[in-house]
Amino acid sequence: MLVTRKAPDFEADAFHQGKIVKVKLSDYLGKWVVLCFYPGDFTFV
């Protein structure tokens, strides 16, 4: 994937202010966003 390409919209669970909430990438349209992904703890990469 090229850096200049638009990321596809997706929905995911997020931990925010002590709760698990649903977030969508499109909720942040027009704003800078940093996405960090990692496999679950104690899984083989």
Taking the whole predicted model, whether its pTM rises above 0.85 is answered as no
The pair of structure tokens assigned to 4 is 């200049």
Contact 23, 10 (CB under 8 A): no
Q: Residue 18: is its pLDDT beyond 60? A: yes
For residue range 22-37, list pLDDT tens digits in order. 999 999 999 988 877 7
According to DSSP, the β-strands at 11-16 and 19-24 are: antiparallel
Can you give the pLDDT at residue 43?
A: 67
